[in-house]
Amino acid sequence: MDELWWAEGVRRVTVFTGAGISTDSGVPDYRGPQGIWTRDPALADLFTYDNFLADAEVRLRFWQVFAGRRGNVEPNAAHRALAELEAGGRALRVITQNVDGLHQKAGSSPRKVVELHGSLATATCLDCGERIPSDEAIARLPDEPVCACGGLLKPSVVMFGEYLDSDVLSQARRIAAASELFLAVGSSLQVEPAAGLCALAVEYGARLVIVNRDPTPYDALATELVREPIGTAVPRICAALSA
């Protein structure tokens, strides 16, 4: 039997991506052996909303770390394969936990990418709601970036202690429920409610395939577990879906 039998006859594909899909682009993950929080657990405090609000030193350190991650990062083979699969006419939606914008940079249609945790591309004023390009905020370092109104600026990402945008989450749930193949790539599947989209997809009849180096809490629900490196696994899967 074809090892990718689960890709046969599939019309609607949803790809759920986590930090692992971007590591080949030089963007470190969070919980892996060389992850940001593995190497420096104290940095997790910078991603906590209450700490960000309460402490100017935390905010400044957050912006410094954030600025250090804003290099000239390019999409890798996995991002490109997904964009090419969509361009070939496959009904494909991407739901991502990532905030790096690499799916869109690779060519995925922005309207078909759901960014569950926001985007690093902009910063939002916590007082007036104004959004500006993040590069404009970073340019104000080493002073703490603030809005023209004097309010605190925060990257437009969801921190620990914040809720996901309800409209964005509802959209992701609708997409998961409509999928025939739900491909979870490079996510530890430890962060809820995002990870629960796997169970929702299975509940509505989708085949769940998990591409991840390490075990996840949702492995028992999976039709297939793929431990192959993401940079080769995703292009191989996309080729099978294009056949």
Q: Answer yes or no: do 82 and 173 share one domain.
A: yes
pLDDT at 138 over 60: yes
More confident position, 42 or 172? 172
Question: What is the rounded CA–CA span in Å between residue 47 and residue 146?
Answer: 18
Q: Given this model, what pLDDT does residue 40 score?
A: 64
Query: Are 59 and 85 within one domain?
Result: no
User: What range defines the domain where residue 131 resides?
Assistant: 30-72+121-157
Task: Give percent above pLDDT 70 in the chain.
Answer: 90
pLDDT digits (tens, 9 = 90+) for 176-235: 999 999 999 999 999 899 999 999 999 999 999 999 999 999 999 999 999 999 999 999
pLDDT of 12 over the 80 cut: yes
Nearest to 207 by CA among 1, 3, 5, 17: 5
How do residues 75-92 score in pLDDT, each as one tens digit? 999 999 999 999 999 999
Whether residue 170 has pLDDT greater than 70: yes
Residues facing 125 on adjacent strands: 153
Q: What is the DSSP letter of 46?
A: G
- Compute the distance between CA of residue 201 and CA of residue 175 in angstroms, rounded to an integer: 9
Residues 112, 196 share a domain: yes
Is residue 133 over pLDDT 90?
A: yes
If asked whether residues 137 and 184 sit together in one domain, one would say no
Residues 36 and 55 in one domain: yes
Q: Check whether residue 204 and residue 230 sit in a common domain.
A: yes
Phi-psi region of 23 (alpha: psi -120 to 50; beta: other; left: phi over 0): alpha
Judge whether residue 124 has pLDDT over 90. Answer: yes
Are 182 and 240 in the same domain?
A: yes
Q: Per-residue pLDDT for 30 more than 70?
A: no
**Residue 145 and residue 239 in one domain:** no
Are 113 and 139 contained in the same domain?
no
Clarify whether residues 1 and 83 are in a common domain.
yes
Q: What is the average per-residue pLDDT within 23-44?
A: 66
Strand segments (E) across the chain? 12-17, 91-96, 113-115, 118-125, 131-133, 153-157, 181-185, 207-211, 224-226
> For 123, phi and psi rounded to 5 degrees?
-125, 145
The CATH number of the domain holding residue 214 is 3.40.50.1220
CATH number of domain containing 50: 3.30.1600.10
Which of 108, 129, 157 is the C-terminal boundary of a domain? 157
Q: What is the mean pLDDT of residues 109-138?
A: 93
Q: Which residues are catalytic?
A: 117
Shared domain for 88 and 6, answered yes or no, is yes
pLDDT of residue 224: 96
Domains: count for the chain:
2
